[in-house]
Amino acid sequence: MRVAAIEVSHWHSLYDAAYLRILSGIPGVEFVGLHDPDAAVAAKRARELGAPPVFTDYREMLDKTKPDFVVALGRHSGMAETALHLLERGVPFMMEKPMGLHAGEVSRIADKAAAQKAFVAVAFPQRYSPFVARARQMIAEGRFGTLSHLYFRLNRPTSARYPAWDSPWMLDPAQAGRLPAQSGLARLRSLPPPHR
């Protein structure tokens, strides 16, 4: 399978989920191109993955390499545009979440993928972790009784990992897709407490 990867500065390219490291160890998988707007990051990733060609324009990479499958990573602010472009080309792909910054973007992608009967996947690796498998087994055995709420906490390294792993854009709210301070949870926290 000929695989290309878009925006490999995403930390999941080689760290944490490490999609590209995992794929590089599968017999029959060949990286035909790595893309990142930062040529130095793309070259650095390529050195760790057998030196496939690198590109700073993913459209050019797709034109030249004609991959069978794409791993689409990247800045959250541009994911919807990338996904729609891949759908236009008819290239099957897996994209790291969030795939869009709001429901409208994601709905557009989902509608287009459904209309085309396209292969589009979003990675949810925690669903298959040993912890989740054990929790499912315990639920099936009735060991928890009736569940009304579930809380999940995952301890992660600090945000210092993003610059260390060539993903400093994660600290930029405009690129990472975080909402302005007075929206979302920040707005809820600023509301007066409910009457009792």
CATH number reported for the structural domain that contains residue 2 in this entry? 3.40.50.720
Q: What is the pLDDT of residue 17?
A: 86
* 168 pLDDT more than 50: yes
Range of the domain at 20: 1-196
Predicted confidence (pLDDT) per residue in 154-167, tens digit: 777 889 999 999 99
In total, how many domains does the chain have?
Answer: 1
Q: How far apart are CA 130 and CA 119, in angstroms?
A: 27
Closest CA to 65 of 31, 111, 110, 16: 31
pLDDT at 188: 42
Average pLDDT over residues 41-45: 97
On whether the CB atoms of residues 11 and 18 are closer than 8 A, the answer is no
